[in-house]
Amino acid sequence: MGGRTVIVTGAARGVGRAAALRFAKNKDRLVLTDADANAGRAVAEQITTAGGTANFIEAELHKKLDVHNVVADALDTYGQINVLIHCDSHFEAKPLLDTKIDDYETLFDRNVRAAYLLNRAVAREIVNQAGENDDGGPNTAHSGAIVNVVSTEAVTANADHALFAATQGAIVQFTKAVALTLSPYGARANAVGVAAIKSELDDLEVQSREEKQAVVSATPLARRAEPEEVAGSLFFLASKEASFITGQTLMVDGGQLAVH
């Protein structure tokens, strides 16, 4: 299964970095992207030093030109795109009644618009690569897979996270539509919902020991997960072992939603 071309966004840290290292271990060819150029290049260098194959391109994925550049880099360097692992996300907390239209536009730009631009661009390449059979029907592209990482707030509610949660729910619904678009070509799209992950979205609002303990107390497995535990789920959903799974959201949350 190694030798695929895999784009990983948000690759500078957390789940994105862990995903990049997991796919590199499988000998896949990587295009890494993040807005943090120094940290992103360090991950690419770590992979290449260990004998892997990785390029890094700095990008802000709500910008159409940046998405074009990421896709073009993958095609120019490796000739194809097989997998997208979209981990990049923007989080802001503010009580609903204190939000302004600028907050709305920022969150939907950075999250929903970015997911739309990137998923559309990669889906087009997967379909183009599938080609057509002699009888005019679509060929198969079984190695094609898209996995979007969201927060479990896609299905829960918090008065201080109203706009963020709305973007996460939108991406989950959008992923289902991507899955239906790709399914005639044998390719798939799924989402992974995360909560209580170290160095991920939670760290933006969970700072003190008391706050971190509250997260642990709300998690049935009674701990916060390592990013590598999410990366394993991402790798699975992009693998042939998940070849009949599409349009789904796998929650990696230590059991939090079971309580809800």
Task: Tell which wins on pLDDT, 205 or 184.
Answer: 184
All domains of the chain in start order, with CATH: 5-259 (3.40.50.720)
101-134 pLDDT tens trace: 999 999 999 999 999 999 999 999 999 998 765 5
**pLDDT one-digit tens code per residue, 193-204:** 998 788 644 445
DSSP the chain: ----EEEEESTTSHHHHHHHHHHHHTT-EEEEEES-HHHHHHHHHHHHHTT-EEEEEE--TTSHHHHHHHHHHHHHHHS---EEEE---------GGG--HHHHHHHIIIIIIHHHHHHHHHHHHHHHHH-B-TTSSB---TT-EEEEEEEGGGSS--GGGHHHHHHHHHHHHHHHHHHHHHGGGT-EEEEEEE-SBTTSGGGGT--SHHHHHHHHHTSTT-SPBPHHHHHHHHHHHTSGGGTT--S-EEEESTTHHHH-
